[in-house]
Chains A and B, each alone.
Chain A
């Protein structure tokens, strides 16, 4: 039982990273209408930047903020220089994001190297609660994710900006006529999603080592999460991330670890084929071209 609870906490912390990337994708794909395959690489870049800054002697939590800002800036540049020009042809944007992901991956290899990087546990505490050992950093990861999820959820569903954003997704032309600067919103969502990826990367490297190829693995999981939950649906992404994270974590502990990656793929194919709008409903993404 103790082992099960520990597995559960571990899985939750893994699920947190998945949720962060899932929310980023669900917002960018579902609300901004951009399929960004390089999103996993954004996360990886965030992790690598954190590794570099912590290695240079910076406090982890400061590095986390900088990693988020750095990747947010990267997202801004990518949106302004690349995706802006393919908004009317999402297919081309998708192919372009693949190119971007290849570039980022190998740029990181060029700057550092292809070996895995890790940092020492930035908190280094173990809490014992009711006879169960919980690594403090993992609990902190879960808490940070919970705060971000709450901010995002209320931002999208309650705030003025969230409302304007949802209006521009459901009817772009009318939203523009009502004076909503749709393009600026698209850029904003893209930056916010990228920022989350940067923070996710920083949290991820605090949990386990990452390599320059981590991004291409995690992106599949991110897409699975956002598609399970329904595109543009923050709550759905949380549920999807929890389900997938728990299945992943528990299967690594109990089941067949060599098939771990296959689960998210199968789940994703089934959902795309059977319920392209996602299990919990969403915006269906940009109009399929």
Chain B
């Protein structure tokens, strides 16, 4: 998605300007389909894993770890959204409602039937996937922006239903649950153990995203994204694949929702309303949906930005908005694209272009 025609066109015709323009073009180019060398991919993955695992031991304090947990479960939901938007091109601005379905399913199972974290998790994830799948077919008929508006409506409707649900959904005050059922020797009341639980789920989500992205299935999804008619004409079952990716996305959202529920121990409708959904959309656009680490980058930036800049909630929301505008105008591929392009610029164009034949192009 090069935006160079607007942003770089004004640089001027002087040699200086031309060079600057080339560099800018390099930074905003769409490199999502250019694969990185296997070694670089492996090193990035190992470094990231080591960093994330070591995080609780760095002595950064309780508050930092809490934000880290929030970031990680948000990132899990974002990986689902990343699959449906980045791979299949189906954007949603109601994604937190799917998280809410998972969280509320788990909470209601806990309140009504006394099921714990591990036993309710499969049900909650399955329900989110089903809801994702049920909403999909009728709404996918209408493409593009209409679909986005519908997802937003469903999200708002979900909140109204929860608020008017009486004691079953706990109305506006919401529901409470106990702590995660301890495994032998591991008590999840300890914050660092809770962190590792969420981290394990994130690694699962990362692995699933990587595998799907590099599979035949992922290639078909990208074919649908690029040209639906063409994909249909070469025999790809477009509707089935879209349905599938929405259900997988729902699965991720359900997992994230249950993790959120058992981290906060309390949920209320506003956690899953319009604003949280919009922030998910912001994070995915910010990070770059087409890049393996894009959703994680988006979640980290958005969750830690107010903390780093020491902003109050109002200012941080203004900052989010400004970030979103800047990213879309200047860096349509997200920060993930920016980082990858910087890498490509440093590593040298020739090296990356030599290998641009493959299709597993994810940094």
Interface residues of A (CB under 8 A from B): 35, 82, 85-86, 89-92, 94-96, 98-103, 105-107, 109-110, 216, 220, 223, 227, 258-259, 261-262, 265-266, 268-269, 272-273, 276, 285-286, 288-289
Contact = CB atoms under 8 A, between A and B. Distances in A.
**What class of interface size applies to chain B in its complex with A?**
35 or more
A94 B92 CA distance: 12
**Which A-B residue pairs are the 9 nearest by beta carbons?**
A99-B324, A288-B144, A103-B321, A288-B143, A102-B321, A99-B321, A106-B317, A276-B142, A265-B153
A265 B328 contact: no
Interface in B307-349: 314-315, 317-318, 320-325, 328-329, 332
A266 B323 CA distance: 32
A216 B260 CA distance: 26
22 contacts: A86-B328, A98-B93, A98-B281, A98-B282, A99-B322, A99-B324, A99-B328, A100-B321, A102-B278, A102-B324, A103-B322, A110-B315, A110-B318, A223-B149, A258-B164, A261-B160, A266-B157, A269-B153, A272-B142, A272-B150, A285-B146, A286-B145
Contact of A262 (B93, B160, B329): B160
Given A85-B6, A86-B328, A98-B278, A269 B318 contact: no
Contacts of A82: 325, 329
Chain A interface helix/strand/loop/mixed: helix
Interface of B: 1, 3, 6, 91, 93, 138-139, 141-146, 148-150, 152-154, 156-157, 160-161, 163-164, 274, 278, 281-282, 285, 314-315, 317-318, 320-325, 328-329, 332
B164 A99 contact: no
A216 B274 contact: yes
Contacts of A266: 157
A273 B321 contact: no
Given A91-B91, A220-B153, A268-B149, A109 B314 contact: yes
A110 B145 contact: no
Contacts of A220: 152-153, 156
Contacts of A86: 328
B324 A35 contact: no
Given A98-B324, A276-B146, 16 more contacts: A89-B332, A91-B91, A92-B328, A95-B281, A96-B329, A99-B322, A102-B321, A105-B317, A106-B321, A110-B315, A258-B164, A262-B161, A268-B153, A272-B142, A272-B149, A288-B144
Contact of A102 (B93, B144, B320): B320
In this complex, the member of A35, A86, A265 whose beta carbon has the largest number of chain B beta carbons within 10 angstroms is A265
B145 A102 contact: no
A100 B325 contact: yes
B160 A265 contact: yes
A288 B145 contact: yes
Contacts of A35: 145, 149
A285 B317 CA distance: 30
A278 B154 CA distance: 19
Contact of A95 (B157, B160, B285, B318): B285
Nearest to A92: B328
Contacts of A223: 149
